[in-house]
Structure 1
Amino acid sequence: MRPVIRIVPNRNAGGSPEPLPRRVTDPDDRAPLVLDRSCPVPTCHALAVPGRPEQASVLRARIAAVLPPATSDVAQYLVSELFNNAITHSRSGDEGGEVTVTLHRLPDRVQVKVIDQGPRRDDSAGPHMRPLDLEREGGLGLRLVHAQAARWGTFHDRNRTTVWFELDRPRTRI
């Protein structure tokens, strides 16, 4: 069975995106991290934090410290959303749980992965966009990622779930 990786391009041209379909988890499923061969060594940062709400500020501070403001503001916001989803919907929010965030600085983009400890129940659906319901509290986190990120997706690795996104770096004018 081939791994199923769902890559969702950003849709700036209006319209409501379709919810992501429920997927069968494949243990060999991996998120793509395509390295630019002209870049000798991409810069990577990783941080594992306890699955407690106050740790979101630790993650935001770390991102602010390693990214320029043009990219940092959006990255901080999206990481906060995904961290909150992880501690709300996965075992990472249980006693002793943790969330790992990795940030890869590549020449033309930044890729961020938020890795949780998997769903609380075996039968629960993985991360997916809910139908839009403005009367319901919550349910907008992945819609925000979809609207702000250049690319994003999800994958499962045994007992972990990863939601990743990429932000294109602004081009500098000469």
Structure 2
Amino acid sequence: MAALVEQAKNTKTDTRNREVLPLPKRANAPSDRAPVLLEPNDEFTGSAMTVPGEPAYAKVMRRRLRTLASLPDRELRPIELLASELFNNCIRHTRSGDPGGEITISVFKLEGRTQVRITDAGPRDGEITVPHLRPLDPDDESGRGLHLVATGASRWGTIHHDDGRTSVWFEVDRIDRNPARPADYAEW
């Protein structure tokens, strides 16, 4: 019994030492709250949020994508993967990864497709960054993120904002479902 009392005393119940992440905030820029439309279409639902440019927020972003997209896992996994790649690129290559940096994630359900846009905080001082496909080097451990987006997305592109920020967006077409078959039916 004395051992249990001693163990209880040694167990931390104080949360002051545990890091508490701040909550995401609503994106305020109108351009962050509207999809990139390649054709006139007034019908869409979507949302945008801004989070600190810290790796821990990739999980928050993926959770938000799952909630907003409300798609079956087989359709959601590619979206999560591509968004994670772009999120990590923002942290690695832009001011978003610096202390106080932020990343805006916008998700839109459009007719027959889902669009995701990841917006960085702009290039670091003295640097010019433009997201682009680089030649693949099999010996290089990086440089595959945009290739993954280019091959995994139905459409993608970049937007350079007047305030210095850059957005990379992609769309993934939803899988047509035959109402006579279950949604998770796969043909072999």
Structure 1 position 91 matched with structure 2 position 84: no
Structure 1 position 49 matched with structure 2 position 51: yes
Alignment match, 1:120: 124
Number of aligned pairs? 142
**SS of residue matched to 1:53:** coil
* Residue number among 51, 64, 67 corresponding to 1:65 in the alignment: 67
Higher strand share: 1
With the length of structure 1 as denominator, give the TM-score of the two structures. 0.76
Question: Which runs of 5 or more structure 1 residues have no equivalent in the other structure?
Answer: 1-30
Cα drift, residue 71 of structure 1: 2.4
Pick closer, same or farther for the CA change 1:105–1:35 going to 2, 3 Å.
Answer: farther
Structure-2 separation of matches of 1:109 and 1:126: 26
Cα drift, residue 34 of structure 1: 3.8
Structure 1 position 111 matched with structure 2 position 115: yes
User: Greater relative contact order (Cα 8 A, min sep 6): structure 1 or 2?
Assistant: 1
The one-letter amino acid of 1:132's match is: L
Alignment match, 1:173: 178
Root-mean-square deviation over aligned CA pairs: 1.7
Higher helix share: 2
Q: Percentage identity across aligned positions?
A: 44
Check conservation: 2:43, 2:111, Cα contact below 8 A.
no
Structure-1 separation of matches of 2:91 and 2:83: 12
Check conservation: 2:52, 2:103, Cα contact below 8 A.
yes
